[in-house]
Amino acid sequence: MTTFEFPFEQLPAILRGPRVERRRVLIGGSALWGTILEEGGAAGRLRLDDGRIVDPAGLAHLPPVAPSKIIAVHIAYRSRSIETRNKPQPTDTPTYFTKPPSALNGHLGQILKPADVRYLNYESEYAIVIGRTCKNVTPDEAWEVIGGFCCALDMGLQDFRDTDQGSMLRVKGADTMLPIGPGIVRGVNLFEQTLRTYRNGRVVQEARIGEESIWGPHYLIADIARHITLEAGDVILTGTPCHSRSIEPGDEIECEITGVGRLKCSVVETPIPRASPLGVGHAPTDSPEVRRVALGFDERVAEHLKANYRAAARGER
């Protein structure tokens, strides 16, 4: 089963230039769309749709997407597969879970960690934004329904890993657990980009997307759309490389994808939910499985295998 051929004979239009980045920034209580200027002395500045040119650096942003659904791949990087299962390929085919739209969060937003939760993990990913309703397409056809790409942080409250029987609704679905942005970008060859996570400015995850991710966006779309209609605006999160770890209130966490953007949020502690002391619902737990995922898997084995995985992976393809 193939995924994508790299380099492409002809690069799909969504991966070819010119680059276009659209953002939705907040100025006071006004949510305003704009386009990043690409050239000249003002490159990097934001031309609001109202014509003003501003520095986007200090501005809070809303998510540049309004999906009817958000579907996420469990594992799609060889390094993450090795780390979690000691295999360079997780399975022959991707597996998925969902996050509700209420989890969306914007650039420079707060990631909320309830006081009774111990493990809040980051996972940097690139997000695919669907541009046109589709179902039952082939991977080749899937390229043309892509509307753009975003940086995303697939955050998770790992203390709830023991519940929900694998759906991860409470792990990954809590409010603010999906920072996405700063903008939505088209016209960039995603396969030549590098994905990085910064915790308080220090790199903690890194992967070359074209070499280390297992399935291309067209494959994921074609897979899901076998049974599920993807609607314009829907978001697919494409998995994270190894080294997702737990962070703390006060931490700043960033997802950078070269050519796409750099998305930053900070962690803030919030009170224990009012229903929890009444005995409602599953309590956060601190089991060995929770700690294994939150704090890192068997590091020794993972490091060993990762050193060899490119050769191994090449042999497999």
**Interacting residues with a second copy between 221 and 280 (CB under 8 A):** 222-233, 265-266, 270-276, 278-280
**Least distance between a second copy and beta carbon 228 (Å):** 6
**Least distance between a second copy and beta carbon 193 (Å):** 23
Interaction residues for a second copy, span 183-202 (CB under 8 A)? none
**Least distance between a second copy and beta carbon 7 (Å):** 21
Nearer to a second copy, 200 or 229 (CB): 229
Nearer to a second copy, 232 or 295 (CB): 232
**Least distance between a second copy and beta carbon 95 (Å):** 5
**Least distance between a second copy and beta carbon 271 (Å):** 3
Residue from 138, 200, 287, 308 touching a second copy (CB under 8 A): that is 138
CA distances from 250 to 51, 111, 265, 269, 289 (A): 36, 10, 10, 8, 26
Could you tell me how far CA 285 lies from the centroid of its own chain? Answer: 25
Nearer to a second copy, 32 or 305 (CB): 32
Residue from 10, 18, 28, 43 touching a second copy (CB under 8 A): that is 28
**Least distance between a second copy and beta carbon 203 (Å):** 23
Instruction: Output the CA torsion sign for 21, 46, 178, 241.
Output: positive
Instruction: Please name the amino acid found at residue 307.
Output: A
CA distances from 134 to 49, 130, 159, 180, 242 (A): 29, 9, 36, 23, 32
**139 interacts with a second copy by CB under 8 A:** yes
d(CA 156, CA 19): 31
CB atoms within 10 A of CB 8: 14
Site string for a second copy, 277-306 (x = CB under 8 A): -xxxxx------------------------
Nearer to a second copy, 18 or 315 (CB): 18
Could you tell me how far CA 312 lies from the centroid of its own chain? Answer: 26
d(CA 115, CA 117): 6
Q: What is the CA radius of gyration of the chain?
A: 19
**Least distance between a second copy and beta carbon 26 (Å):** 6
Residue count, binding to a second copy (CB under 8 A): 95
Token duo for residue 283: 């309590």
Site string for a second copy, 37-76 (x = CB under 8 A): -----------xxxxx-------xxxx----xx-x--x--
b/e burial code for range 70-109 (CB count within 10 A of at least 16 → b):
bbbbbbbbbbbbbbbeeebbbeeebeebbbbbebbbbbbb
Residue from 87, 101, 251, 312 touching a second copy (CB under 8 A): that is 101
CA distances from 274 to 2, 110, 172, 281, 311 (A): 50, 20, 20, 11, 52
Nearer to a second copy, 91 or 308 (CB): 91
**Least distance between a second copy and beta carbon 294 (Å):** 17
